Structure 1
């Protein structure tokens, strides 16, 4: 596909999503004007930040209070926040080896930056589609300075361990004299699964990164929360990495909006995700010879759906459904590890709360109708 074709397809999808009356998975991105309108609820007559003071410092204090840590540092991206955190821990432990899952964000989505930029090395306690457990950590054949746990593990299906498993894994890392860092880009929505408040979860780790745009709908930005001395060191590295722009107040205010308006709604999204996942399983089982809703009961408000069709066929069916019925059930599909097997991520948020089990069943049946009409191809006949 050429760049022009990709741009045309992206424009078509944007128009289709924006034209929908009903969206099950996630929703349309707000316009720039809509985002600016939201910020009017905050004090826009005050002075903006300058190199990390003012609103930036206020957000950092808010995050530290929410997570129960001594301090926090705002970063323009989570990628930078985590690289800085892991670099700091390597210096403090004297060990530049980071133990993490091969599906973790730095291994899949950062172009090898831990090694190329920070000079770190990674090892994998397990390759199974789950977080490392205590036995994996204890049995790792070589020393490591930091254990990084992504909560939830997004590319494996937004999966989480139980609270007992998580605490045991952390304890195993301590036994090996390693520090623990949480990739908590989506930590905000983990509290229902663990049955613990955010400070109790964050207290297990030596440092925690959280995102402001993935679940909270902010413009951009992240925070690294930890002890005051680690945050001070991280801020020094933040400056070296070019992560201290002159002003960042639009991103900061949108982060505050997410904390004020989206964070309280996340438990409701998680609860409704279980209803949506069950309805999808029932609807797909009636008409598709092979499928997976993974996990069967979502750990958060996000999960995967797998179908035995090429991604382009599934995406075309979804676009036609959106264009012709103003209803969209699934987002973008991607090819899986086998040809003709594809998956999509379902995010249950505000737009999905009005969907009943019957609505999910009807929308799914409608999508499958467009799929059959467009192409009967399947890897399972």
Structure 2
């Protein structure tokens, strides 16, 4: 446990809430959580499950109707053919990932993790007894992991490659060409499996298009675990429903672990997720269009702010902005801004803007901002950011 760090995003959220309780006016762009309410039809499905007495234990892998709906979505969206036995439902995508790594890693096994990356990947690898092999993609203009990097990083001890597309925190989306090239390297190393975290699949902005490795390289299907869920696309973070699609042998092993820990996620949440996946999904277009407009606005404001630059992300609801031009400066009260952690802390304490330091995502010199917030909140945050950065500029002069 001494090797596993707590979630940096959760820590920043906790500090933000503590300041708010003390009466401070904080604009928070930290949490990976849509600000929309869960659509009414989904909520009503949960209520109906309660009133219908569907409040008892379910199979460890999830109710059959939900697993069949997941199978249907994979077929409809990506022409992927799975059976319900190849599907496992968990308490969020995070549990699915954890179960997969616990089920497959022996001490000393390696997991390749392209960075910047979600804060949880390296820590869960360590929790499972493995060694995270971090590959730095920060200097790439697209933040993407390349076949050349893959070829250099793989060893006989490599067990998994973690591929997150769209990516948290960069918003990078791997297109068909990217995946075809990575698949070529995978074919040379049959001992390597791929954990494809596709939780932000529905949040991709044109002209970018989502592509799934399992569909691009069907011959590698038995070495791929697709991880997804309803949290991000359907505004259901608190419902805690994620799922995995992969080989039966892996799913059975994951189910053994889950059966001895949480058993299954809430029966009520499962019926709500069934409605999300099998019911009317018109809310997805509304959510995506709203996020796209917010993305364009916040990126424009950030790129007009002294010392900040960012690439317009193709997916998710995050933007990773470089603050490296501001490092090495001092604030008006003499505080040294030597790192992105210093910068994020100063923004929160002095200007009431909560962001997550890039170091948390193995992206030093950057900050991650979530635009899963109202236009008014984003505007207020950008105004304060601009004022803060102008203050640093004046002090530097």
Q: Give the TM-score of the pair, scaled to structure 1.
A: 0.69
**Of 203, 210, 234, which aligns to 1:189?**
203
Show structure 1 runs of 5+ residues with no match: 19-24, 320-330, 353-358
Aligned to 2:263: 244
**1:200 counterpart = 2:200:** no
Equivalent pair of 1:78/1:209 in contact (CA under 8 Å): yes
Report how far residue 342 of structure 1 moved: 4.4
Alignment partner of 1:160 out of 167, 173, 176: 173
Aligned 8 A contact 2:201 2:210 in 1: no
Shift in CA distance, 230/64, structure 1 to aligned 2, threshold 3 Å: farther
Task: Give SS of 1:210's match.
Answer: strand
Q: Deviations over 1:93-121 (max 9, x none)?
A: x993322224444xx336734234x3323
Q: Distance in 1 between matches of 2:266 and 2:217?
A: 26
Shift of 1:133: 1.8
1:214 Cα deviation from its structure 2 partner: 3.2
Aligned residue in 1 for 2:250:
230
> Pairwise mapping of residues 217-296 of structure 1 onto structure 2 (< 5 A)?
217-218=235-236, 219-240=239-260, 242-245=261-264, 248-259=266-277, 264-267=282-285, 269-284=287-302, 288-293=305-310, 295-296=311-312
Measured in 2, the distance between the counterparts of 1:141 and 1:54 equals 32
- Residue 299 in 1 paired to residue 315 in 2? yes
User: What is the Cα deviation at residue 180 of structure 1?
Assistant: 1.9
Q: Separation in 2 of the partners of 1:17 and 1:262?
A: 33
Partner of 2:46: 39
Work out the CA distance in 1 between the residues paired with 2:93 and 2:148: 29
Q: Residues 228-276 of structure 1: CA distance to partner in whole angstroms, max 9, x if unpaired?
A: 3432232122223x0305x712322343354357954445544554443
> 1:81 aligned to 2:96?
yes
With normalisation by structure 2, the TM-score equals 0.67
Contact 1:77 1:220 in 2 (8 A): yes
Distance 1:263 1:198, change over 3 A: farther
Residue of structure 2 equivalent to 1:328: none
Q: Is the 8 A contact 1:98 1:147 kept in 2?
A: yes
In structure 2, distance between residues paired with 1:292 and 1:65: 41
Match of 2:57 in 1: 50
SS at match of 2:256: helix
* CA deviation string 1:114-173 (max 9, x = no partner): 234x33233234443633222222233522232221222213x12122221122112311
Q: Partner residue of 1:121?
A: 131
Please give the secondary structure, in 1, of the residue aligned with 2:391.
Answer: coil
| Aligned counterparts of 1:150 and 1:43: Cα–Cα separation in 2 | 35
- Corresponding residue for residue 344 of structure 2: 311
Q: How does 1:99-114 map to 2 (within 5 A)?
A: 99-105=112-118, 108-109=119-120, 112-114=123-125
